Amino acid sequence: MSSKAPIRIAVLVSSASGADRTEFDRFIAVYYALLDAGAEVLVASASGGHPWPKRLKPSGEEPDELAARFQSDWHARDDLANTLQFGQLFVEDFQGGFCVGEPGAIWRSTDLDSVGALIARFLQAGKPIAVVPSLFDITPTGAADGLLILSDGKWPPIAAVGALLAAATQFDNRRIEP
């Protein structure tokens, strides 16, 4: 990225279905792909703190490269253990977002602090957001002015990271041009 300040991306962890190793693996893949690309990452979840009801431990098998990296990375473990609540985020502070997990309905949510409502605010602000997997309802207003990047879970989540960063960089450049 060529701008002076790093692109700021909010990673939203939606774990409505409970502790899930696949969800955790998606999170660390996205988290490290964003960091490795030079983005500044802030992690948020519904209740703040650790997003899953129980801490996910590696299975009995040897951890893969990302899991081993996470286990030895105190900063990443701290980011995950101390997430902000969705309601504490201000969309204006970010160039884009990435939701890991199922957000539900984004335009009909009665809870203004839900992940769905936060995704809607990103889209209304014209900012890109990626959702992996993409099992949610975007009616009635579509994606508004934002860019919605979807995945059905068949592609690795890092495939959406490049598209998100490119769109966030374009958004950031439009914001600072006269």
pLDDT number for residue 76: 93
Name all contacts of 171-176 with Cβ < 8 Å and 24+ positions apart.
171/95, 171/96, 171/126, 171/127, 171/128, 172/3, 172/7, 172/95, 173/3, 175/95, 176/3
Max distance between CA atoms of the chain, in angstroms, equals 56
Taking only the tens place, the pLDDT of each residue in 57-96 is 555 556 689 889 998 999 999 999 999 999 999 999 999 9
**What are the backbone angles phi and psi of residue 166, rounded to the nearest 5°?**
-65, -45
pLDDT number for residue 11: 95
Q: How far apart are CA 7 and CA 132, in angstroms?
A: 20
- Kindly report whether the global pTM for this prediction surpasses the value 0.85: no
For the chain, give every domain's residue range. Answer: 8-176
Give me the residues of the chain with pLDDT under 70, please: 1-4, 15-20, 52-63, 107-110, 133-159, 171-178
pLDDT number for residue 177: 46
The CATH number, out of the four listed (3.30.450.20, 3.90.1150.10, 1.10.10.60, 3.40.50.2300), of the domain defined by the range 8-176: 3.40.50.2300
Q: How far apart are CA 118 and CA 37, in angstroms?
A: 24
